[in-house]
Amino acid sequence: MKILNPLQYKNMFDYISLSSMEIEEQLINFKLEFYKTRNKVAEWQLKIPPFITAFYTYVWKQNKIPKQHELWHWYVALNNEYFIVHDYADEIIKGLQARVYRTYPSLVRDIHFITYIKEHLHDACVVYNTNPDIEDGIDILIIYREKLFAVNLFVNTQRSLHGRMLKQSRHAKYENVITIDFPVSFTGSKEIGNFFLYGEKEYEALIEMMNKTK
């Protein structure tokens, strides 16, 4: 197995100044909408630029959380050359837009929780970069008590659990990394407007899991 050096990655949160409270204040007035469209080609047959890169690039440059339609337009603009080359039919574009809108709440949950962890876990180094997320399926890297944790965030649903299993099968394992799968049921979790977010309850559960790891 390979060795992972978390410091080889630029920590995107060194360049994002939003606090978890500021994120919540923005989200309170956001309205979520979703499309019933599910185009088979858009869902399963395309190797498209990752949504997550567009999301974090937007936050990095605009210093705010995008709304769903803002993320979609930013994604298309950021990958303009890709869409010109491929010239997809309208039904495929609509299917991709539906995917972006469905993915959006999890992107928001993750950035809020990573921010929350950084604010509260003072004796740790919290690293986020889109490369290990995309390449290795690692949502957060945490250096805590001389151990390196890869924390994977997902909702405790059959669809999400299936997606997590697919992620595990595609990515390499590292001998110096302790992986924590952190499925969350949002019953009783923090609600901000239309969003269910990780909060103190999930934070305390994560700390307990890391402290119990030998």
151-177 per-position pLDDT tens digit = 999 886 555 444 545 555 444 679 999
Residues in the chain: 214
Whether 4 is in a domain gets the answer: no
Q: Please tell me the predicted confidence (pLDDT) of residue 23.
A: 98
Distance (Å, rounded) from C-alpha 36 to C-alpha 187?
24
Number of domains observed in the structure of the chain: 1
Q: Please tell me the predicted confidence (pLDDT) of residue 156.
A: 63
Q: Please tell me the predicted confidence (pLDDT) of residue 2.
A: 87
Whether 124 is in a domain gets the answer: yes
Q: Please tell me the predicted confidence (pLDDT) of residue 109.
A: 95
Structure tokens at 65: 């959380």
Whether 6 is in a domain gets the answer: no
- List the domain range (segments joined by +) for residue 102: 14-212
Task: Give CA separation, 33 vs 51, 183, 195, 209, in Å.
Answer: 17, 24, 12, 34
Whether 8 is in a domain gets the answer: no
User: Contacts by 164-168 with C-beta closer than 8 Å and gap 24+?
Assistant: 167/137, 168/137
Weakly modelled stretches of the chain, pLDDT under 50: 160-162, 164, 169-171
φ and ψ at residue 111, rounded to 5 degrees: -65, -35
Whether 163 is in a domain gets the answer: yes
Q: Please tell me the predicted confidence (pLDDT) of residue 159.
A: 54
Tell if the pTM clears 0.85, that is, is over it.
yes
Whether 145 is in a domain gets the answer: yes
Q: Which ranges in 46-89 belong to alpha helices (H)?
A: 51-62, 68-78, 80-86
Whether 3 is in a domain gets the answer: no
Distance (Å, rounded) from C-alpha 41 to C-alpha 24?
35
Q: Please tell me the predicted confidence (pLDDT) of residue 53.
A: 96
Q: Please tell me the predicted confidence (pLDDT) of residue 162.
A: 47
